[in-house]
Amino acid sequence: MRVGRWVEIVIARLLAPVVLRAVMLALMLASPLGLVSSVARAQEPRGDVLRWGADPSGGAPFAFFDPDNPDRVIGFEVDIMAEVARRLGRTPELFRADWLALYDALEAGRCDVLMNGFEVTDERAVVARFSVPYFRFGQQIVVRRADAGRVRSLADLAGKRVSVLNGSQSVDVLKDAGFADELILQYDDSLAPYTEVALGRADAALAESIIAAYYAAHDERLALVPETFAPGQYAAVTRKADDTLGADIDRVLGEMKSDGTLGEILQRWGLWDDAQRGVGTAKGRPQEVIAAARGSAGDSAAATESIAPAIFRGAWMTVLLTVTAMPLATAAGLFLALARMSPRTWMRRAAITYITLVRGTPLLVQIFLVYFSLPPLGQWLYAAAPAFVQPLLDPLGGAAFLTLPALVVGALCLAANYAAYEAEVHRAGLEAVPAVQWDAARALGLTRAQAIRHVIAPQGVRIAMPAIINDLNSLIKDSCLVSVIGVTDLLGVCLGIGKARFSVPEMLVIAAAVYLVLSVAGDLFGNWLERRLRARGFTTTLSHGKGAHP
Amino acid sequence: MTQPSPSVLLEVKGLHASRGGRAVLRGVDLAVAAGERVAVLGANGSGKSTLLRAIARLDPVEAGEVRCEGVGLVLQQGGLFPHLSVERNVELALRVVQGLSRDGAARRARAALARVSIDRTTAMPHELSGGQQQRVAIARALALEPRVLLLDEPTSALDPEATREVEQTLRALSASGMAIVIVSHDLPFAASIATRTLRLDGGRLEAAESRPQ
C-alpha cells in the first residue's frame, strides 16, 4: 500500500500543478483592465448569509472532512466562523475551492471572507484586508523518528533537503536561513511534505507548528522537534473595498479573544498554548471540561460503513457531470465539425481557431479561467447592457446572472473542452460517408444543409460512434478535474476521506475501483448503442416528425 | 432553332463537360422522346456517367444546353441511404424538398414502391437483395414524378434474375410514357431493353450498329 502513497503524491501534483499560478498571474494582470476585480469589488455581500471560503482538502485541523461523516466539514476554523457569524447575526455558509483559488474566489465575489490558515504577510496585505489575528504559530521541524535526537534546530539541517507546503511562510523562513533553492522541496498537497520525509526523499519537513504537530502525531515513522521559531499569525481575509465586513469581523474576533470563547475553541482542538496570549487571546474554561464536551469528534477509527453514502454521492456527481457534459460535447462537436467543413472561409477559420485553442490548453486551466472570469464578465455585461435588457436579466440574478454554480460551470467546461475533440471525431466520421451519398441526396433535390442534416450527419455520427464512446470513457475520469473549483466528485470525496483518516492509498484504491465500475458501465452502454444503431439503422429527425418543413 | 416536337422530353445540344480536369464530353447531342428507352454504351472513362450527372445538374456544364422536363437520376449501386428504411428513403425528398405532410409523403412513397413491386417497405436497405435495392432506388426517383429517368449502370451488381426484374420495371415505366436513358456496360441487357442504342466515343454520341435481338 506504500506505493499508493506515492501515487497520491503524483495525483495531488496533477490536481494543482504549477500552471495554476500562471492562471492567477493572468487574472492579476487582467485586474488593471477592470475585467476581474474592480467590478467584483463592487458586489455587496448577500443578505444574512456569511459565505466564507476554505479548502477542506487542505486537511486537519483547519477545515476538513469529518472522518466519521465525510459529508460534513469540521475544524477549528469552522467553529470560529460559526461563532463569528452567530455574533454578526448571519448564517455561515462554507464556500469550497482549491486553496490556490480562494483569493480569486473572494475577489470575484463568490464568498465574503476567507479563513483557511492565511498567514499575515506584507505582500498579501497590499491586495487584501487582514483581520486581527486569531492564531499565533511558530515554525516547527518534523524528522524521521531515527533522527529525532540529532536535529534540534534549522542549523542541524544545513545542506539537507527540507520539504515544505508550496506558498507557505516556511519557504521564506528556509530562504532567510540560507537554504539553496534545490534543497527546498515544495509540494502543493498538504500531506506530501511528511510522506516525502517518511519515504526518505526529504530529510525533514518544515511547517507551521499547528500542521507539523498534527501530521507528526499521525505517522509513527515521524517525530516532531519540540522547539518552535519564526512566529507568524493567521487572520481572516476580506476584500479591501469591503471595509464594513472587515471591521465587523475585527470587532467580533476581539470580543471572542477577550471573553475566552476563542481560547475555548482552540483548547477543544488541542491547539491552545501560551503563545496565544501574545495575540490577546484569553484562555477559556479548564481543558478537561471542554474535552468532555467534545465527545468522540477526534476518534477516526470508527464508522467505516458511514463513508459509503459519501462515496456514492461523489460517484453520482461524477456520473452527473459525465451524462450532462458528453451529450453536449457530442452535439457541439458535430456543429464544429460541420463548420470546419463549411464552404464559408470565416466559419472554417472560426472552428479551427476554437479547436486549436481548446485542444492546445490544459482543461484544468480552462476550468479555472472560466469559473473566475464568468462573475466579473456577467457584471460587466449587465452594466454595459441597454436599460431594457437589465429587467430581463434580473430574474436570473441581475448582475450575478453569470455567477453560476460550480457544478454547472464544471459541466459546461468539460462539454466545451470535449466538443473540440468530438469535432475531430465527427469530421473523420463525416468524411468517411461515401461520396455517392452526397450525390444521391443532391440528385433528389436536397440542399447542402438538408443533405447534411438528413443523410450525411446521421451516417457520420454512426461511423464515429466507437470513437465517441471511447471519449465518453475518458471523460468519466477527466471529470475529476472540476474538483479544483470545489465540486466534490468521486476523487475529491475519496481524497478528502483519505486525508482525514490518514488512509489515502486505501481510499484511492476504492476510488479507482468505482471509476472502473463507471467506466465498464459506460462501455456497456456504448456497446448497446452501437448494436442498436447497426441493427435498426439510425433513424433521423424525420421519424420524429421534426424538421420536415424547412 | 427549330421548335422541338412536343413528345421530346429531354434535349441535349452541344454539351461540353469535364471530369477531373479532363474534357470528356465534347459536343454531345441527344433527344429522347416519351416512351423511348435509350441505352448509352461506351468504354470505361468515356464519359457515360458524366453525361448523366450533367443532365441531372450534379456537375456543372461548360458549354451547350440541356432542356429537360423533370429528371430523376438513379446512381450506380442505387445510392440508397443505409440508415433509413425503404419507405423513409422514398419519403425523404418528398418531405424535405417538396414539403409534403407525413401522410401525404407516405401515400406517394407506397404508390412509387408499388410501381416497382416492392412490398417490404419497413425493411432496411441491407436486408434486401441487390435487385430489390435497385428497384427501391428507382422508386425513390419515381416518387418525385419525373418525366425522364436516368439510370447509371443499373444492373452492374445484379444476377440474371434481378436483372430481369429491373428490366420488367423499366419496360412498364416507359409504357406509361416516361423517357428513359440507361448507361450500361451490360451489352445483353442494353440490347434487350433499349429501343435505341447509342455509343459514347471521343466525347460525342453516335448511333451504335444495330445488333440482332
Q: Do B81 and A440 touch (CB under 8 A)?
A: yes
| CA gyration radius, chain A | 27
pLDDT tens by residue, A515-530: 999 999 999 999 898 8
Chain A residues within 8 A of B102 when measuring between CB atoms: 545, 548
Chain B residues within 8 A of A548 when measuring between CB atoms: 95-96, 99, 101-102, 105
| Cell numbers describing residue A194 | 511528511
Average pLDDT over residues A378-382: 87
- b (16+ CB within 10 A) / e for A275-295: ebeebebebbeeeeebeeeee
Q: Which of B96, B103, B133, B142 to mutate to test the interface with A (most CBs of A within 10 A)?
A: B96
Residue B143 burial (10 A CB sphere; 0-12, 13-18, 19+): buried
For residue A123, the SS3 value is: helix
Q: Do A437 and B81 touch (CB under 8 A)?
A: yes
Least CA distance to A545: which residue of chain B?
B102
Least CA distance to A463: which residue of chain B?
B83
Give the closest of B76, B93, B102 to A446, CB-based: B93
Given this model, what pLDDT does residue A61 score?
85
Give the closest of B58, B96, B102 to A545, CB-based: B102
Nearest CA of chain B to the CA of A447: how many Å? 8
More confident residue, A63 or A547: A63
Given this model, what pLDDT does residue A213 score?
84
- Rounded to whole angstroms, the Cα distance separating B148 from B174 reads 10
Given this model, what pLDDT does residue A143 score?
94
In this model, does residue A21 exceed pLDDT 50?
A: no
- pLDDT bracket for residue A31 (50, 70, 90): very low
Given this model, what pLDDT does residue A503 score?
75
Least CA distance to B122: which residue of chain A?
A536
3-state per-residue secondary structure call for A484-527: HHCCCCHHHHHHHHHHHHCCHHHHHHHHHHHHHHHHHHHHHHHH
Chain B residues within 8 A of A443 when measuring between CB atoms: 56, 58, 72-73, 75, 79, 141
Non-local (6+) Cβ contacts of A222 within 8 A are A142, A143, A144, A145, A194, A197, A198, A215, A216
| Cell numbers describing residue A531 | 448494436
Q: Do A450 and B81 touch (CB under 8 A)?
A: no
pLDDT tens by residue, A485-505: 778 889 888 887 777 676 777
- The residues on B that touch A, with CB distances below 8 Å, are 53, 56, 58, 72-73, 75-77, 79-85, 88, 91-93, 95-97, 99, 101-102, 105, 124, 140-141, 144
| Least confident piece of the model among A152-161, A212-221, B136-145 | A212-221
State phi, psi for B170 to the nearest 5 degrees.
-65, -40
Residue A536 contacts B where some CB pair is shorter than 8 Å: yes
In this model, does residue A5 exceed pLDDT 60?
A: no
Chain B residues within 8 A of A542 when measuring between CB atoms: 84, 88, 91-92, 95-96
Average pLDDT over residues A57-84: 86
- Number of Cβ within 10 Å of residue A428's Cβ equals 14
- b (16+ CB within 10 A) / e for A437-450: bbbbbbbbebeeeb
pLDDT tens by residue, A434-454: 999 999 999 999 999 999 999
Per the prediction, chain A carries an average pLDDT of 82
Least CA distance to B54: which residue of chain A?
A443
pLDDT tens by residue, B25-82: 888 999 999 999 999 998 887 888 889 999 998 888 888 889 887 889 999 877 899 9
State phi, psi for B106 to the nearest 5 degrees.
-65, -40
Given this model, what pLDDT does residue B107 score?
94
| Residue B65 near residue B14, CB atoms below 8 Å | yes
More confident residue, A299 or A90: A90
Q: For cell 439510370, name the residue.
A: B151
In this model, does residue A393 exceed pLDDT 90?
A: no
- pLDDT bracket for residue A398 (50, 70, 90): confident
Q: Do A537 and B79 touch (CB under 8 A)?
A: no
Average pLDDT over residues A344-354: 95
In this model, does residue A11 exceed pLDDT 60?
A: no
Chain A residues within 8 A of B82 when measuring between CB atoms: 459, 537
Average pLDDT over residues B179-200: 90
pLDDT tens by residue, A206-251: 998 888 888 888 788 899 998 889 999 999 999 998 889 999 999 9
Amino acid, single-letter form, for residue B104: G
More confident residue, A36 or A393: A393
| CA gyration radius, chain B | 17
Average pLDDT over residues A400-406: 83
- pLDDT bracket for residue A53 (50, 70, 90): very high
Amino acid, single-letter form, for residue A304: T
C-alpha dihedral, A374 to A380 to A381 to A387, nearest 10°: 150
Given this model, what pLDDT does residue A519 score?
95
Long-range contacts formed by A462-466: CB under 8 A, 24+ apart: A462/A429, A462/A533, A462/A538, A462/B83, A463/A428, A463/A429, A463/A432, A463/A433, A464/A425, A464/A426, A464/A428, A464/A429, A464/A430, A465/A429, A465/A526, A465/A529, A465/A530, A465/A533, A466/A526, A466/A530
Average pLDDT over residues A360-377: 88
Q: Do A446 and B96 touch (CB under 8 A)?
A: yes
CA atoms within 13 A on the CB side of A523: 7
Given this model, what pLDDT does residue A536 score?
59
For residue A384, the SS3 value is: helix
Given this model, what pLDDT does residue A317 score?
92
- Report cis status (omega within 30 of 0) of the bond before A61: yes
Q: Do A450 and B80 touch (CB under 8 A)?
A: no
Chain B residues within 8 A of A541 when measuring between CB atoms: none
A&B contacts, CB < 8 Å: 79
- pLDDT bracket for residue B207 (50, 70, 90): confident
Amino acid, single-letter form, for residue A31: S
In this model, does residue A544 exceed pLDDT 50?
A: no
Given this model, what pLDDT does residue A326 score?
96
Q: Do B83 and A459 touch (CB under 8 A)?
A: yes
| Of B56, B57, B53, residue with least CA distance to B24 | B53
Chain A residues within 8 A of B95 when measuring between CB atoms: 542, 548-549
- pLDDT bracket for residue B205 (50, 70, 90): confident
pLDDT tens by residue, A297-324: 444 444 455 788 888 989 999 999 999 9
- Number of Cβ within 10 Å of residue B119's Cβ equals 11
- Percent of chain B residues past pLDDT 70, beyond the cut: 95
Chain B residues within 8 A of A454 when measuring between CB atoms: 92, 96
Q: For cell 440528385, name the residue.
A: A443
Non-local (6+) Cβ contacts of A199 within 8 A are A2, A5, A6
- Rounded to whole angstroms, the Cα distance separating B210 from A73 reads 95
Nearest CA of chain A to the CA of B73: how many Å? 6
Q: Do A539 and B84 touch (CB under 8 A)?
A: yes
| Residue B87 near residue B110, CB atoms below 8 Å | yes
Q: Which of A437, A442, A444 to mutate to test the interface with B (most CBs of B within 10 A)?
A: A444
pTM: 0.72
Chain B residues within 8 A of A459 when measuring between CB atoms: 81-83
Cα A494–Cα A496–Cα A498 angle in degrees, nearest 5:
65
Given this model, what pLDDT does residue B6 score?
59
Residue A186: beta bridge partners? Answer: A164
- pLDDT bracket for residue A433 (50, 70, 90): very high
Nearest CA of chain A to the CA of B149: how many Å? 11
Length of chain B: 213
Average pLDDT over residues A124-152: 91
- Rounded to whole angstroms, the Cα distance separating B130 from B152 reads 15
Q: Do B96 and A450 touch (CB under 8 A)?
A: yes
Q: Do A443 and B79 touch (CB under 8 A)?
A: yes
Least CA distance to B141: which residue of chain A?
A444
